[in-house]
Structure 1
Amino acid sequence: MIPFVHLIGPGGAGKTTVGPLLAQRLAWRFVDLDQVFIAQQGDVAAFMARHGYAGYAARNIETYEQLRAAATAPTVLAMSSGFMTYSADVSKRYPALRDAIEADPLTALLLPSFEFERCVELVVERQLCRPYLRGDRASETRRIRERHPVFMALRCERFISEGEPAAIACEVERFVRSRLSS
């Protein structure tokens, strides 16, 4: 099976910043699941307006499965921010898929802080700086407050992403190389 590094975490955790740096260090390809979804389906907010969040989540799961099945090279994959937090009934295949990603020895959770309030503060500030997002402070705060406990309960390797992206990529690279050599 082609190795994948799954970078998971909330929006604003650094997945799309650290991911390309990590991929370059490993000489692997980098893929951003959100960008693949957008290339196939168009604007995420418009898709959700037509199909609802559950429809988006189900389609995003399909997008991931297609991407994974078509992989021909080792890949660093920045997962969508909510991917690991979807409702278990969004797809029949989702619970097993989520469990497999969580258990994958190359899955890395990025969070700007493990401390709840600091993580909320950093994620909200980062998300509000993104011009393509239509969220506001209240909705971004609610989202990370709901998702943080879910992320913290995941049984995978964790990395604090508040520092310099190149240093974080180096730290994740060491983790990946150690897992690949064992």
Structure 2
Amino acid sequence: MDLHVFLIGPGGVGKTSSGPHLAKLLGREFVDLDEIFMSGPGHIGRYIKNCGYAQYVRENSKLFFEHIYQRTSPCVCALSSGFLIAEEEVEIVELNKSAVKKKGHSVLLLSHSDPDDCAKIVVARQVGRGLNLRQEIELPKFLARLPVYLSLADQVTVFRGRPEGAAHSIFTQLNDAQSPTADIC
């Protein structure tokens, strides 16, 4: 596959933890858009607090186009949770969606096939990170955004376990999708 592999979805699904393992399996570099942001503009939470979410969306998109979109060799990239879904700067988000479709294969990693169970697992991870998130706010947000992520994904991988196992499942699905099927007469 000559395209980038974009790991998409809300925070807590395992993009950053499984991405390096997937990159190793594919023989590619792993790039985390959040890490690029943190090494440039700074801490995401403080940036949003000081500059606003709309400015964060603009800056995050700019960094994507500078550091990932222009790459000549395909990589595995964990996209920020709000990169493809944001209520602000809708035009930029649409541009992001088009760029991801054009340059890559997007993989949504989920911890459970049932949306409610998946939401509980992922939101517990989010809340446990100590970012002042509240379950009663994050749970309905996750459930509202899940259908959008599903519509954007070229591939959905459901896996609950260690990041290495998730990466292996993604890798297997990628290989199965590329394998030609024989016509049986």
Pairwise same-fold verdict (TM > 0.5): yes
Report the 3-state secondary structure (helix = DSSP H, G, I; strand = E; otherwise coil) of the residue aligned with 2:118: helix
Contact 1:105 1:179 in 2 (8 A): no
SS in 1 for 2:84: helix
Unaligned 5+ runs, structure 2: 181-185
| Alignment partner, residue 144 of structure 1 | 142
Which whole-Å deviations, capped at 9, do the CAs of 1:14-73 have from their partners, x for residues lacking one? 101110100111111111111111111111111111221111111111111111245253
Q: How does 1:13-92 map to 2 (within 5 A)?
A: 13-87=13-87, 90=89, 92=91
Unaligned runs of 5+ in 1: none
8 Å contact from structure 1 (residues 4, 74) kept in 2:
yes
- Residue in 2 aligned with 1:114? 113
2:137 maps to a residue whose letter is S
**Pairing 1:9–2:3 present:** no
CA contact (8 A) 2:7 2:15 kept: yes
> Across the two proteins, how many residue pairs are aligned to each other?
180
Distance, in Å, in 2 between the alignment partners of 1:42 and 1:162 is 31
Cα separation, 1, equivalents of 2:178 and 2:4: 11
- Paired amino acid for 1:171: S
- Are the counterparts in 1 of residues 32 and 77 from structure 2 also a CA contact under 8 Å? yes
**Which moves more between the two structures, 122-131 or 32-41?**
122-131
* TM-score of the pair, normalised by structure 1: 0.85
- Secondary structure of 1:106's aligned partner: strand
Instruction: Report the Cα distance in structure 1 between the residues aligned to 2:164 and 2:147, rounded to whole angstroms.
Output: 27
Matched ranges for 1:134-173 at <5 A: 134-173=132-171
| SS state at 1:110 partner | strand
Mapped pair 1:126 → 2:125: yes
Q: Structure 1 vs Structure 2: percent identity of aligned residues?
A: 31
The verdict on how the C-alpha distance between 1:66 and 1:180 changes in structure 2, with shifts beyond 3 A counting, is farther
Larger Rg: 2
Q: Is the 8 A contact 2:85 2:93 kept in 1?
A: no
In 2, are the aligned partners of 1:26 and 1:173 still within 8 Å (CA)?
yes
Q: Are the equivalent residues in 2 in contact too, given 1:13–1:161 (CA < 8 A)?
A: no
Over the aligned positions, Cα root-mean-square deviation in angstroms equals 2.5
Q: 2 CA distance for matches of 1:175 and 1:51? A: 40
Query: 2: distance between equivalents of 1:75 and 1:161?
Result: 22
Moved more, 157-166 or 73-82: 157-166
User: CA 1:91/1:152 → structure 2, altered by over 3 Å: closer, same or farther?
Assistant: closer
User: C-alpha separation between the residues in 1 aligned to 2:124 and 2:62?
Assistant: 30
1:59-89 Cα distance to aligned partner (Å, 9 max, x none): 11111111124525321100111211124x6
Cα deviation for residue 149 of structure 1 reads: 2.3
Q: Structure 1 residues 177 and 105 mapped into 2: Cα distance closer, same or farther (>3 Å)?
A: farther
